[in-house]
Amino acid sequence: MKTTRSVVLGCGSYLPAKILTNYDLAKMVDTSDDWIVERTGIKVRHLAREDETTSDLALEAATQAIRNAGIGVNDIDMIVVATTTPDETFPSTATRVQAGLNMLGGAAFDIQAVCSGFIFAVSVADAMIRSGQAKTVLVIGAETMSRLLDWNDRGTCVLFGDGAGAIVLQAHEGDGSNHDRGVLMTKIFSDGRLHDLLYVDGGVSTTGTAGHLRMQGREVFKHAVTNIAAAIEAAAGAAGVALSEIDWFVPHQANQRILAGTARKLGINPERVISTVAEHGNTSAASVPLALSTAVEDGRIKRGHLILMEAMGGGFTWGASLLRW
């Protein structure tokens, strides 16, 4: 049966120039390169300049994705930005990007699902495309997580980085089978009872400040492997795809041990898992499209490949999206 599919036309990414190494961090808090690498796999992360905002990062990634897609800005009729670090409380970061692109018309809005944001944004964009409300959607994950960190808390400040990634999705007709290009299935979940394990201790209607990220790392870790594995099985299962058929797993890049633990739990070949955590750290909603762009640029991901993107983050939120490149 003919079906509308959201096909990826192109992708792009952007990392701020400034790099913070584990050795730099060891001068700031009581930590070491050995500890960070052993517990997380992270070696370096990128940090936005003081005058560089989330929308600046998003705009760079978006411009590259549009160029890579081979379309014009005004072919886009919707922008969805996943971010937990917006430029301002309002308006949305997406409207800043819209203005930056000189995009006339269409709609632009943000969604908030912390580290799962990109998966949630793909889910929303795909639903918009399949329901006929949009034809060409720019989906961006962009973060300046460095602005939310308590730089005295060694348990969190070593984990995160800044960056942005973007894809362009466009409506194309498929035959309704798993051989179609485009998004085949997305599953998203949340459980608000787990708020206290990972949150920011500030906000507009509480403290009136942006606040700092707080986390019970060990507890988050346990939930991460369980939830991510369940989301992968839910998305692949609903699409009728065996995990062995998937060419590349593109996970949220939180911690190399979470990537390895999930692969082990599901019997996934670790060589099929794209990892950029060593170079990017955890860039929250930006991490999946950043990893995706990396693997497209270096030639690992090719047209026709089956890709499984997944993430988990504060809320808790988690999800997975299966697509054919």
Helix (H/G/I), strand (E/B), else coil: 239: helix
Q: Which of 73, 75, 100, 221 binds ligand ACO (CB under 6 A)?
A: 221
- Tell me the residue length of the chain: 325
Q: Report the residue number, 183 or 200, with the smaller CB distance to ligand ACO.
A: 200
172 backbone dihedrals φ, ψ, rounded to 5°: -140, 150
- Residue 148 to residue 9: CA distance in whole angstroms: 33
Q: Is 254 in the site for ligand ACO (CB under 6 A)?
A: yes
Q: Is 313 in the site for ligand ACO (CB under 6 A)?
A: yes
Residue identified by tokens 């939830």 is 227
For 64, 185, 203, 206, the CA distances from 168, given in Å and listed in that order, are 10, 17, 31, 36
The residue among 104, 169, 183 whose CA lies nearest residue 138 is 169
Window contacting ligand ACO (CB under 6 A); options: 103-111, 182-190, 218-226, 295-303:
218-226
Window contacting ligand ACO (CB under 6 A); options: 60-68, 172-180, 240-248, 250-258:
250-258
Report the relative pairing of strands 306-313 and 248-251 from DSSP bridges.
parallel
Instruction: Count residues near ligand ACO (CB under 6 A).
Output: 23
Q: Which of 39, 130, 172, 181 binds ligand ACO (CB under 6 A)?
A: 39
DSSP per-residue letters across 49-61: -TT--HHHHHHHH
Q: Is 31 in the site for ligand ACO (CB under 6 A)?
A: yes
Q: Report the residue number, 134 or 312, with the smaller CB distance to ligand ACO.
A: 312
Least distance CB 87 / ligand ACO (angstroms): 22
Least distance CB 179 / ligand ACO (angstroms): 32
Site for ligand ACO in 87-126 (CB under 6 A): 115
Given a contact cutoff of 8 angstroms between Cβ atoms, the answer to whether 235 and 186 are in contact is yes
Least distance CB 213 / ligand ACO (angstroms): 8
Partners of 160 in beta bridges: 282
How crowded is the C-beta side of 34, counted as CA atoms within 13 Å? 0
Window contacting ligand ACO (CB under 6 A); options: 67-75, 150-158, 176-184, 186-194:
150-158
Report the relative pairing of strands 3-14 and 162-174 from DSSP bridges.
antiparallel
The angle formed by the CA atoms of residues 291, 292 and 294, to the nearest 5 degrees, is 65
Q: Is 5 in the site for ligand ACO (CB under 6 A)?
A: no
Q: Is 27 in the site for ligand ACO (CB under 6 A)?
A: no
Q: Is 43 in the site for ligand ACO (CB under 6 A)?
A: no
Q: Is 198 in the site for ligand ACO (CB under 6 A)?
A: yes
Window contacting ligand ACO (CB under 6 A); options: 8-16, 72-80, 168-176, 247-255:
247-255
Tell me whether the omega of the peptide bond preceding residue 249 falls within 30 degrees of 0, making it cis.
no
Window contacting ligand ACO (CB under 6 A); options: 45-53, 67-75, 132-140, 212-220:
212-220
- Residue 24 to residue 22: CA distance in whole angstroms: 5
Least distance CB 141 / ligand ACO (angstroms): 13
Query: Which region holds residue 33: left if phi is over 0, alpha if psi is between -120 and 50, else beta?
Result: alpha
80 backbone dihedrals φ, ψ, rounded to 5°: -120, 120
Q: Is 312 in the site for ligand ACO (CB under 6 A)?
A: yes
Chain residues that interact with ligand ACO, rule: CB under 6 A: 31, 35-36, 39-40, 115, 154-155, 158-159, 198, 215, 217-218, 220-221, 224, 252, 254-255, 282, 312-313
